[in-house]
Structure 1
């Protein structure tokens, strides 16, 4: 059982690291603020959660699991709020390419 949990933890760690790498490449390669914001939040949060799951599967103590859970909750709470604020600031300062938007709901205001 321990060996199975260790292998599952290793798979989660490698997958989380690859998703974080993909997020970094997306931030570097995408041309627009909104595209970069999407690349910075979606795969990065999933990558961090997979890394935390891998760490939790490897450590397996009560104090460590509590800390990992706390870090995961903070990541889930802060990443969407930060992405919203970045997108809002980019839109208000005209850093968004409006020709790439499908629908501009804030243009009427």
Structure 2
């Protein structure tokens, strides 16, 4: 029974990891690709590692540390990547309706940006 539960966790993790790959291929711009990849891979990795803990109970402590590491590093690294992409003015998809970072930067400067993608700085 334990092996079946472990197998189900690993299968669920594999499905999430597959959906992350599909999301990276199908999303229209860098920012949505980063988000789809990060969220699905974080959950997929956690499920696979949990399934491995069912298969190998002696590895549980090490696998919990690996899960903790994934939980701490994936969101932070995706934030850093998306912030860097924004700062080098990577274009957003035209369907983006709100640019919260442009609003934040304009708020610091004391001006209100136009709504939508129009407040986005253009590449020179």
TM range (shorter): 0.7 to 0.9
**Alpha-carbon distance in 2 for matches of 1:32, 1:98:** 6
CA contact (8 A) 2:13 2:48 kept: yes
The one of the two structures with greater contact order (alpha-carbon pairs below 8 A, sep at least 6) is 1
**Alpha-carbon distance in 2 for matches of 1:26, 1:99:** 18
Determine the structure 2 residue equivalent to 1:77: 72
Larger Rg: 2
**Is the aligned partner of 1:36 residue 2:54?**
no
CA-atom RMSD in angstroms: 1.3
Matches within 5 A, 1:84-103: 84-97=79-92, 99-103=94-98
Matches within 5 A, 1:1-109: 4-61=1-58, 64-97=59-92, 99-108=94-103, 109=105
**Alpha-carbon distance in 2 for matches of 1:98, 1:52:** 35
CA contact (8 A) 2:29 2:93 kept: no
CA contact (8 A) 1:16 1:46 kept: yes
Unpaired stretches in structure 1, ≥5 consecutive residues: none
**Alpha-carbon distance in 2 for matches of 1:96, 1:38:** 16
Change (3 A) 1:52 1:92: same
Deviations 1:38-61 (A, max 9, x none): 111111110000000100011111
Larger helix share, 1 or 2: 1
TM-score (norm 1): 0.88
Aligned residues: 104
TM-score (norm 2): 0.78
